[in-house]
Chains A and B, each alone.
Chain A
């Protein structure tokens, strides 16, 4: 009877953890997709920063290694870089000559 309980518990735990892993992976995939979209948006206005693409690759590698928290953290950072790059480029859409040259 004890053995049966242990087996049932083990199966339950592994099921729960696999569901959790799948959830984490989905969250990482979603964060990476958002980062990539943000990078592309910045690139569309020539505002992409140097390291954004590299960060996304790092996030993908971390996800591949099962390090989902790390992947999400890096991807979120990359997403913010994309946003800043886009805003930086759009804010200068019209050329303004610097004051020291006027």
Chain B
């Protein structure tokens, strides 16, 4: 009898550990949504796509004024020109993305053939390389133009990241991204969650911290600090540097998996990029 009890207890403990490690993405999303709904009661869900401007009224007033003459407009125009200009071989982005350019909601996604998460930026460079063009840099420069154009035309479409059912590799990538998000790193011992969940709405110096919910909907982003439009992975790099951790490679596995998790958390929110931030 005692042995049976011990066995049962062990089974329960193992299943609890398994449940912790392999959480249900939909449950994770609900947990996060409930957390923000409780913390910022009265803020409509879609508002979180506007980052900290969902609850920072002073910042919001400045942002709305900036949006009257959007600083990312030039990038969108240049991105359109890039989309329309054929490659040296006569093909174009349209050949790679037949449903494009309003395809922002289809990324990131799990690609079974490649066995990895494919982001919009990665897909653009894969398209370029397949057509004999040089890949673009992943943080600064003209990749932001084409991303801005795609993002602008994808406005209003809903974030809909899919984790294919019974796909262990895709789930592992999601879990990896989730672990990254909650892992404390750097000399300051901060995780992404420390700022963007636990302390969302609080201030770091003069800045109001944004919520993890809706963080991916408005990228690429024109940041006044950068004086240019920059990619999501450039922002990841900046965040990691700020907590004094060595950043990872843009479009490397760590950041792509992080994007997979983070974008999943925003499922259902409308895309509203490119954005403008301080």
Question: In the bound complex, do residue A46 and residue B248 qualify as a contact, i.e. CB atoms below 8 Å apart?
Answer: yes
The reply to whether A97 and B185 contact each other, CB–CB distance below 8 Å, is: no
Across the interface, do B198 and A100 meet the contact criterion of CB distance under 8 Å? yes
Instruction: Tell which of A4-12, A14-22, A25-33, A87-95 binds the partner.
Output: A87-95
B246 and A53: CB pair below 8 A? yes
A-B contacts, CB under 8 A, total: 57
Residue-wise, chain B 249-272 has the 8 Å CB interface mask toward A (1 for contact) of: 000001000000000000000000
Asked if A101 meets B186 with Cβ closer than 8 Å, knowing A49-B244, A94-B21, the reply is no
Name which residue of chain B comes closest to A94, CB basis: B21
Q: Is the CB of B185 within 8 A of A47?
A: yes
Closest-by-CB residue of B relative to A52 is: B246
Query: Are A101 and B31 CB-contacts (below 8 A) given A95-B21, A95-B179?
Result: yes
**Which chain B residues border A96 with CB–CB below 8 Å?**
20, 182
Is A81 an interface residue, CB under 8 A from the partner?
yes
- Is there a chain A Cβ closer than 8 Å to B193's Cβ? yes
Chain A hits for B254, CB < 8 A: 46
Residue B143 at the chain A interface, CB threshold 8 Å: no
Task: Give the contacting residue for A98; candidates B193, B241, B245; CB below 8 A.
Answer: B193
Residue B226, interface by CB 8 Å: no
Chain B residues positioned under 8 Å from A46 (CB to CB): 185, 248, 254
Q: Does B109 sit at the interface, judged by CB under 8 A?
A: no
From A43, A47, A51, A95, B182 is in contact (CB under 8 Å) with A95
Residue-wise, chain B 21-54 has the 8 Å CB interface mask toward A (1 for contact) of 1000000000110010000000000000000000
Asked if B85 CB lies within 8 Å of chain A CBs, one says no
B76 within 8 A of A: no
- CB pairs A–B below 8 angstroms (25 shown): A46-B248, A47-B185, A49-B245, A49-B246, A50-B186, A50-B240, A50-B244, A50-B245, A50-B246, A51-B187, A52-B246, A53-B246, A84-B187, A88-B189, A89-B183, A92-B183, A95-B20, A95-B175, A95-B183, A96-B20, A96-B182, A100-B197, A100-B198, A101-B32, A101-B35
Interface residues of A (CB under 8 A from B): 43, 46-53, 81, 84, 88-89, 92, 94-98, 100-101
Interface on B for A, CB 8 Å cutoff?
20-21, 31-32, 35, 175, 178-179, 182-187, 189, 193, 197-198, 240-241, 244-248, 254
Known: A92-B184, A100-B198. 4 other contacts (CB 8 A): A46-B185, A50-B187, A84-B187, A98-B182
Closest 10 CB pairs of A and B: A48-B246, A50-B244, A95-B179, A92-B183, A49-B187, A50-B246, A100-B198, A50-B241, A49-B244, A50-B245
